[in-house]
Structures are given as C-alpha cells and as structure tokens.
Structure 1
Amino acid sequence: MKKIIVIVDTSGSMAEDDKNAVVRYLLSGIGNLREKEEFSDCFFALYGWGEALQKVEDWGNIRFAFSGRSGTGGLEEIGKEEKEYGSLLLISDGNFTEDVKNAFLKLGRDRRTAVISVGMDARRSVLREISTKGEVFAVTELVTAVRSL
C-alpha cells in the first residue's frame, strides 16, 4: 500500500478566493482518485497546515480556515505521527520563510515529495527545492503528481 501525506498550506497567503477554489478543486480530485482502480492501493492522510495544524479525518467534511502565519511546529508533528508514510504531496504557493522551507526539506528527507503550485504569485523556485525531483506540478497535473510518488 502506498501511503501519502497530503499537506495543504492554509496560511494567510493562501486566503485569496481563487486559491481557495483551487484547493477545493484539488481535494475533490484526490477524493475522486481514491475511488479509481489505479489508486486503490493508495491511502491519503490529509492535513491543513498554517497558523494551526489540522488533521482531516472526514474527507466529506473538509473545512480549512486560511489565515495567519505558518510555523515549523506542525510539520515536525506530522513527521513524528506519520512515520510509515513514504510519500508527501504539498499543495502550496511557497510563500513562507526559509525556516519553513527547511522544515519541509527535513520532513521530505526520507519521503518522495511532489509539489503542486497554487496561484500566480507562487514561489516556484522555493517549491522546486522541496520537490524530490525538482519538479513543480501545475494544478491540472494532479494525477501526474500522485503517480510520481
């Protein structure tokens, strides 16, 4: 079974309406993937990460509050809680500090990491550093991003 941690950046920079809509679109897409034969061996653990860390247990009732500044603490917690997960899918605009980037690098050290870039202001160079293969996927490449893991 392939276990994938999905982290949605819910910091203030992601609070724009168009980014919220993109996140909803991507999460709906992941929900649909879970029902496809090709991805039947995948298990997704979903987290909202921003001002506070939020683990989502009920995929049918996802509610994220996009606000505040993001810190590194929640990422360390995910790393400890989800040790058996070998893959990481980050959905973000990359508008965070160097400390946060380093925390993502640490979290992804022993995991294959794919990144989906959200928003016209996305810092693709930062997101590229976090991705295992240095590749940043567009929103329309969700299936390709999951396959890369």
Structure 2
Amino acid sequence: MRGKQPKEREKYFIRLGGSTLVEVGREIYLEWYRSERRERYQRECDRKHGVCSINKLHEKGYYPEKSNYLNDTTLETVLKDECWDRLENALKKLSEQEKRLVRLLYFEDMTVKKTAEIFGCSRKTIHNRREKVLEKIRKMMSETSP
C-alpha cells in the first residue's frame, strides 16, 4: 500500500454505525482504511471546488426541479441552490450533440468505446470531446458563480 499506513497493532477494529466496534484482520482493516481515506479525500476535494454531483441529476431526472432534492436532509448530499442552478443552466446551454454525449457517458453509463461506435468516431475523439464539454460546463458554472 502506498502512502500513509496505519500503525502495526495486535488487534484491528472498525467502527460500524458510529458506535459499534468490530474486530477484524489486518488485511480487512487496511482495505477499509484505504476506502475511508479515499472517500474523505474526495469529499474534501468536492467541498474545496464546490462540486455538484452529476449523478444526483440522474437520480432526479435529467433536469430536476429544485424542490425534488430539498427533502434530502443528509448534510453531505444537500447541495446549494446556486450550484444546482449553475449546473442546470450549463447543461441546457450545450449543443444537442454535447447533450447527447453527456447523456450517454454520465446518465446511461456507456463506455467511451460504445459511445464512439454510436457517434461513428474513434475513442480518442470521444475522450477529447468529453474533456472539452466538461471544461465548457466548468467555465459556464464559474462564470455564473455568486
């Protein structure tokens, strides 16, 4: 395992449900530790960059109404109205071809290879288009930030 490793111990415990401790083997603990650290890092990056979850849009439909997700009270999943508005507006401003690309790759979980077959072009072309569309979305969202 690269990076920071937990100290060697005689026993390893994982906290379940916030209060219950369960003894586990070293390998299980290390795998749990890696996944916990990865999730924490991702949440920190998301907070730092004000990232909106595109998967959240998929759960609620392509362009959800804000009232649909305001019922979700989980602190980590509630997103600011401004962020949703910026993401929705950015997606609406994309060309039909760009919308189709986003829909296939992110909402229908299609692979780059399969998307390339549908568009009749190479995987590299799809990769380049995806990067351009994501950059375009980022730019539109940052231009409308409060």
How does the TM-score come out when normalised to structure 1? 0.26
Rg (Cα) greater in structure = 2
Whose helix fraction is larger, Structure 1's or Structure 2's? 2
Query: Which has the larger share of strand?
Result: 1
1 or 2 for the larger relative contact order (CA 8 Å, sep ≥6)? 1
What TM-score does the superposition give when structure 2 sets the normalisation length? Answer: 0.27
